[in-house]
Structure formats: C-alpha cells, structure tokens
Amino acid sequence: MFKFIHMSDTHLGSRMYMSDEREQDFYDAFQEAIDISVREGVDFIVHSGDLFDTWSPSNLALSKFRDSALAIRDAGIPMYLIMGDHDRPKRADYPAAEIFNFLGIRLLGREGLETTIHQKNGEEILIAGISNLKGFRRSQLLEEYRKAENSASGFSNSILISHQAITGFLYDEACEAKPSDLPANYSYLAFGHVHDWALKTDARPVFSYAGSTEMKSTREIRSFIRYGKSVNVVSIDNGSVSVERIPLKSVRFQYLVATSPGSYITDIEEAISKYSGRFGNKKPIFTVRISGTADRDKVISDLKKYDGIIFRPPEIIPDHVDVETRPGMENMSDYIGAYFRDHPELSELVTEYYRNARGDREAAIKALLERLGVSE
C-alpha cells in the first residue's frame, strides 16, 4: 500500500497586484500542503508542475522552497515533480527545482517521458513523469503518452504525472489532448495546469487535477466558492485507488460580485453576510464587476467604507460589450496572444518580456538589449 499527496500549481513567488501580502499567500498555502504531507505520514509527494511561478524564481521564492524541502527530507518524504509551462527554463538554463535534488526533490521528464520506481517493504510503484510540452515540443505529447502506456505494463501500482490541458476541463481552444489519448493502464493520473480541482473516479485510471493551491486569476473564484482549494491524499493498494481531499485553510477568500450599477452595494452586503464565516484570518479580496454605466470614482469611494475587505479596482463593463465573448482565459500570455493574434512573433516577444521581467524595468531593458544583440 502506498500513500501520497498529490499537489499542483503552487506558483511560488507569484506576486499579484505587486503585493507582498499576495506573494506570502502562495507561500502560506504551499507550507500548509507540506505540513499536511508530514502530518499524514505519506510515502512521497507528487507535484504536477508550476512549482514556481516563473522559470527564474526570486531568491525569496527559492529559500521558501528550500525550507519546505528540508522539512520533508527530515520527515523522509521524497518529492517527485515535473515542470509546468511556468517553470520550464527558457534557452539553456537549468530548472530551479533541480537545484534541490540533493534533498530528495526528483524532477522527472525534462525532455519527454521519464520513469522511476519507488519501493517500500518489497512493494513497488511506477512513477512516470512528462514535463509540460508546448510550443514546438507539443507534437511530441501523444507519442510520450504512448511510451508511458508501454512503461506501465506489468506494474500493478502506477502513477503518471503530466501538466497539460485535457479536453473537458478547460475551454476547447486551449486543450492539448483528449481523455482517450491518455494511457489507460495507470492506477492514477496526476495532472496539473488546470487550476480548478477535478476528480474522476468513475473509470480507470482515476484522473485528477489537484488544482492550484492559491488563486492566480478571478476565473478560479467560481470553483473556489464551490469546492475550496485542496490537496489530494491518494492511497494505492494493488492497483485500487482511493482519494481524499484535504482542504487548505490558509487560502485567502476571494469573491466575484457580478452586479449592476444600481445594486452593487446590496450585492456586496449580501455576499459579506453569506460568506463571512469563510473569511478566516486574512482580509478577503472582492472583485466587483459592474455591467452597465457607472461612475468609477463614486464606486471606489463607496467601496472604501468596507475596511475589512480588499477590493480590486472595480471592473466596469459598458452594456454594448457582450460579457460572454470576453476572453475567458487563464493568464496574461493568453490575453497577449489574443491581442496580437495576427502576429504570433510579436505575441511571443511580448510574452517573453512579461514573464522574464516580472515588473522589473531594468531586467526588461537588459533582456531587450540582449535580444537585439546589444550587450553592455
């Protein structure tokens, strides 16, 4: 019998709204997931990618991860992980997670399928990993899934870790493979990339997106309200799988008030009375989205009276915009892609600077000069 934690998309170092508090939220949620792993006495941890928010994390993000890596090493718990689209290094750099391999952090599948066997009391479980394949690597994906299927034959216990969008779990344009493309002979498919939690136990193999541990986008709020954020505790015994979700209590509460110019105050107050029991120790973040014509300054001054709540700048959407056709996208690179849709090379360039610079003007200029071949 093997027992492990499946966590995903922890995005350490994510700094939303340029806020130290928001950066700390991601560290808190990850720390809680690590604490749960130690408390549950699991055999190992599976992380399905986007450990860090970028391929070049800050020293603070690296040191936070170091502390957790030391804690699980001391508890005798190795971590098997893959790279997500966020933490795959550009050019010829070295994956950040690999720096910690001496602490039992085992990064799998940099360039395609990679497998390892975890043993305990004479029993073994196959752990297969394929780091995120996108861009020019994406054509390789289905072939890697077929290789994974071959590797698992003969194992009664097996896990495949992958970080891709599967049809049915994200809007169609973003999907990279169908459920029928996935290897069928694994015990458990540990997926990352989609930030909303999902679990399918009605067919073999058991499939799960563990979901992000904190919210990277307001698009995650709907699922968060319904299911919360969590990690999976998975037990595999002779190929039979059981999954228990353990909720993360440190996640900062967020709510989206979709409202109209005449009723935003009422709707905010209704949400406060309905959800205040879930706020916890951290001030909740509310996003107010008003459909119709509203005076932004008046809305902002009205929001000031709720000092127990952090409001993001209000979104005011004029009537003539069809809300349903706005890009329902997960991250900034998707928006950049949509804006430069006729110029993929520009979109790639802008996305690269956006990712690399992370709000750091000097880093952006340096990268631009490098790109132009002008070095200092």
Which residues participate in catalysis according to the annotation? Answer: 86
Chain Cα centroid distance, residue 365: 28
Q: Of the ranges 3-11, 179-187, 256-264, 352-360, which one interacts with Mn ion (CB under 5 A)?
A: 3-11
Residue 220 CB-density burial (10 A; 0-12 exposed, 13-18 middle, 19+ buried) = buried
Considering the complex, what minimum distance in angstroms separates the CB of residue 351 from Mn ion? 15
Residue 137 or residue 366: which is nearer to Mn ion going by CB? 137
Nearest to 348 by CA among 66, 158, 135: 135
Cα separation of 189 and 307, whole Å? 44
All residues at 6 or more sequence positions from 13 whose CB lies less than 8 Å from its CB, including other chains: 23, 26, 52, 53, 54, 57, 58, 60, 61
Residue 188 or residue 191: which is nearer to Mn ion going by CB? 191
Return the residues of window 41-70 that contact Mn ion according to CB under 5 A: 50
Considering the complex, what minimum distance in angstroms separates the CB of residue 224 from Mn ion? 15
Nearest to 18 by CA among 360, 365, 364, 362: 360
* Residue nearest Mn ion, Cβ-based: 50
Considering the complex, what minimum distance in angstroms separates the CB of residue 210 from Mn ion? 11
Per residue, what are the HEC states of 30-68?
HHHHHHHHHHHCCCEEEECCCCECCCCCCHHHHHHHHHH
Nearest to 10 by CA among 67, 59, 62, 48: 48
Residue 2 or residue 191: which is nearer to Mn ion going by CB? 191
**Could you tell me how many residues of this chain bind Mn ion (CB under 5 A)?**
2
Residue 64 or residue 88: which is nearer to Mn ion going by CB? 88
Return the residues of window 4-33 that contact Mn ion according to CB under 5 A: 9
Q: Does 330 bind Mn ion (CB under 5 A)?
A: no
Cα separation of 30 and 82, whole Å? 16
Residue 32 or residue 50: which is nearer to Mn ion going by CB? 50
Considering the complex, what minimum distance in angstroms separates the CB of residue 165 from Mn ion? 10
Considering the complex, what minimum distance in angstroms separates the CB of residue 365 from Mn ion? 28
Cα separation of 170 and 168, whole Å? 6
Summarize as ranges the residues that interact with Mn ion (CB under 5 A).
Answer: 9, 50
